Amino acid sequence: MNNARRFIVFLTTSVLVTNVYGEILKKVYLDSKQNVHIVDDHGRDTRITNKGNANHLKLAPDGETVAWLAMNTWTAEGDDGPGSEELIIYRNGKRNSIKCTPFIRDYWFWMNGTQIAIDCGARHFAGREILYDTRTMRELSSFDEAKVPLEKRPDWSDADN
Protein backbone atom coordinates (compact mmCIF):
# COMPACT_ATOMS: atom_id res chain seq x y z
CA MET A 1 0.00 0.00 0.00
CA ASN A 2 1.47 3.35 -0.95
CA ASN A 3 1.82 6.28 1.48
CA ALA A 4 -1.14 8.25 0.08
CA ARG A 5 -3.45 5.26 0.50
CA ARG A 6 -2.15 4.64 4.07
CA PHE A 7 -2.82 8.27 4.92
CA ILE A 8 -6.41 8.05 3.62
CA VAL A 9 -7.02 4.85 5.63
CA PHE A 10 -5.54 6.53 8.73
CA LEU A 11 -7.60 9.68 8.24
CA THR A 12 -10.82 7.70 7.70
CA THR A 13 -10.16 5.59 10.80
CA SER A 14 -9.44 8.71 12.86
CA VAL A 15 -12.68 10.35 11.76
CA LEU A 16 -14.66 7.19 12.64
CA VAL A 17 -13.11 7.02 16.11
CA THR A 18 -13.85 10.71 16.68
CA ASN A 19 -17.46 10.21 15.62
CA VAL A 20 -17.97 7.16 17.87
CA TYR A 21 -16.49 8.68 21.04
CA GLY A 22 -16.67 12.41 20.40
CA GLU A 23 -20.43 12.67 19.95
CA ILE A 24 -22.56 14.73 22.24
CA LEU A 25 -25.28 12.60 23.79
CA LYS A 26 -28.77 14.02 23.45
CA LYS A 27 -30.82 11.46 25.34
CA VAL A 28 -30.45 8.45 27.63
CA TYR A 29 -33.14 6.01 28.67
CA LEU A 30 -33.81 2.62 30.22
CA ASP A 31 -35.59 0.04 28.12
CA SER A 32 -38.24 -2.34 29.49
CA LYS A 33 -35.51 -4.72 30.69
CA GLN A 34 -33.67 -1.96 32.64
CA ASN A 35 -30.80 -1.68 30.13
CA VAL A 36 -29.18 1.67 29.35
CA HIS A 37 -29.52 3.23 25.89
CA ILE A 38 -27.75 6.35 24.65
CA VAL A 39 -28.87 8.49 21.73
CA ASP A 40 -26.21 10.70 20.15
CA ASP A 41 -26.59 13.96 18.28
CA HIS A 42 -26.99 12.04 14.99
CA GLY A 43 -29.95 10.09 16.35
CA ARG A 44 -28.05 6.80 16.76
CA ASP A 45 -29.56 4.71 19.56
CA THR A 46 -27.06 2.34 21.21
CA ARG A 47 -27.71 -0.09 24.04
CA ILE A 48 -24.67 -0.03 26.33
CA THR A 49 -25.71 -2.54 29.03
CA ASN A 50 -27.19 -6.02 28.96
CA LYS A 51 -27.51 -7.07 32.63
CA GLY A 52 -30.85 -5.35 33.22
CA ASN A 53 -29.89 -3.91 36.61
CA ALA A 54 -29.63 -0.20 35.82
CA ASN A 55 -31.62 2.42 37.69
CA HIS A 56 -31.58 6.18 38.37
CA LEU A 57 -30.09 7.00 34.97
CA LYS A 58 -28.83 10.56 34.41
CA LEU A 59 -27.19 12.46 31.55
CA ALA A 60 -24.71 15.20 32.47
CA PRO A 61 -25.61 18.74 31.37
CA ASP A 62 -22.60 18.82 29.01
CA GLY A 63 -23.90 15.72 27.17
CA GLU A 64 -20.60 13.88 27.58
CA THR A 65 -21.20 11.67 30.62
CA VAL A 66 -23.93 9.22 31.60
CA ALA A 67 -24.30 7.66 35.04
CA TRP A 68 -26.56 5.07 36.61
CA LEU A 69 -26.81 2.90 39.69
CA ALA A 70 -26.15 -0.81 39.25
CA MET A 71 -28.86 -2.24 41.48
CA ASN A 72 -28.25 -5.19 43.77
CA THR A 73 -30.25 -8.31 43.10
CA TRP A 74 -30.67 -8.82 46.85
CA THR A 75 -32.54 -6.80 49.46
CA ALA A 76 -31.25 -6.35 53.00
CA GLU A 77 -33.59 -7.05 55.89
CA GLY A 78 -35.77 -4.02 56.59
CA ASP A 79 -35.16 -2.39 53.19
CA ASP A 80 -38.07 -1.37 51.00
CA GLY A 81 -36.25 -2.50 47.86
CA PRO A 82 -32.83 -3.32 46.49
CA GLY A 83 -30.13 -0.70 46.78
CA SER A 84 -26.86 -0.06 45.06
CA GLU A 85 -23.24 -0.10 46.13
CA GLU A 86 -22.02 0.89 42.66
CA LEU A 87 -22.38 3.92 40.42
CA ILE A 88 -21.42 3.35 36.78
CA ILE A 89 -20.02 6.29 34.82
CA TYR A 90 -19.91 6.09 31.00
CA ARG A 91 -17.81 8.67 29.18
CA ASN A 92 -16.05 8.57 25.79
CA GLY A 93 -17.02 4.95 25.22
CA LYS A 94 -15.51 3.75 28.51
CA ARG A 95 -17.07 2.67 31.79
CA ASN A 96 -15.76 3.36 35.25
CA SER A 97 -17.41 2.79 38.57
CA ILE A 98 -17.53 4.19 42.06
CA LYS A 99 -18.29 1.75 44.86
CA CYS A 100 -19.46 2.67 48.31
CA THR A 101 -20.96 0.61 51.11
CA PRO A 102 -23.50 0.14 52.40
CA PHE A 103 -25.38 2.18 49.75
CA ILE A 104 -25.08 5.05 47.32
CA ARG A 105 -28.17 6.95 48.40
CA ASP A 106 -28.00 9.64 45.73
CA TYR A 107 -25.68 11.15 43.14
CA TRP A 108 -25.61 14.30 41.04
CA PHE A 109 -23.48 16.04 38.44
CA TRP A 110 -21.58 19.20 39.30
CA MET A 111 -19.74 21.77 37.15
CA ASN A 112 -21.82 21.00 34.05
CA GLY A 113 -20.94 17.29 34.29
CA THR A 114 -17.17 17.49 34.67
CA GLN A 115 -17.63 16.35 38.27
CA ILE A 116 -19.97 13.91 40.00
CA ALA A 117 -20.88 13.70 43.67
CA ILE A 118 -22.29 10.81 45.67
CA ASP A 119 -24.07 10.55 48.99
CA CYS A 120 -22.95 7.28 50.56
CA GLY A 121 -24.18 5.74 53.78
CA ALA A 122 -26.79 3.68 55.55
CA ARG A 123 -30.46 4.18 54.79
CA HIS A 124 -31.37 6.38 57.75
CA PHE A 125 -28.19 7.92 59.19
CA ALA A 126 -25.66 10.56 58.20
CA GLY A 127 -23.18 9.37 55.63
CA ARG A 128 -20.35 10.71 53.57
CA GLU A 129 -20.49 12.93 50.47
CA ILE A 130 -17.69 12.52 47.95
CA LEU A 131 -16.88 14.55 44.82
CA TYR A 132 -15.07 12.98 41.81
CA ASP A 133 -13.68 14.23 38.51
CA THR A 134 -15.61 12.43 35.72
CA ARG A 135 -12.62 12.41 33.36
CA THR A 136 -10.01 10.94 35.74
CA MET A 137 -12.32 9.38 38.38
CA ARG A 138 -10.04 10.95 40.99
CA GLU A 139 -11.59 11.91 44.33
CA LEU A 140 -11.56 15.71 44.65
CA SER A 141 -13.22 16.33 48.01
CA SER A 142 -15.30 14.65 50.71
CA PHE A 143 -16.82 15.21 54.12
CA ASP A 144 -18.71 13.39 56.86
CA GLU A 145 -22.32 14.64 56.94
CA ALA A 146 -22.55 14.17 60.73
CA LYS A 147 -19.62 16.52 61.31
CA VAL A 148 -20.42 19.34 58.87
CA PRO A 149 -23.61 21.40 59.41
CA LEU A 150 -25.73 22.13 56.32
CA GLU A 151 -24.79 25.83 56.26
CA LYS A 152 -21.05 24.99 56.20
CA ARG A 153 -21.10 22.38 53.46
CA PRO A 154 -19.41 23.11 50.12
CA ASP A 155 -21.49 24.33 47.17
CA TRP A 156 -21.11 21.00 45.35
CA SER A 157 -22.94 19.28 48.23
CA ASP A 158 -26.29 20.75 47.19
CA ALA A 159 -27.83 18.24 44.75
CA ASP A 160 -30.47 20.80 43.76
CA ASN A 161 -27.91 23.45 42.80
Spatial CA neighbour of 65 closest among 50, 87, 43? 87
pTM, full prediction = 0.80
Q: DSSP readout, 64-89?
A: SEEEEEE--SS--TT-SS---SEEEE
Residue 110: other Cβ atoms inside 10 A: 22
Architecture of 23-157 per CATH? 7 Propeller (2.130)
Q: How is the chain split into domains, by residue range? A: 23-157
Q: What is the pLDDT of residues 8-64, one digit of tens each?
A: 444 433 333 333 456 799 999 999 999 999 999 999 999 999 999 999 999 999 999
Report the pLDDT value the prediction gives residue 22, as an integer from 0 to 100: 61
What average pLDDT does range 95-119 have in this prediction?
94
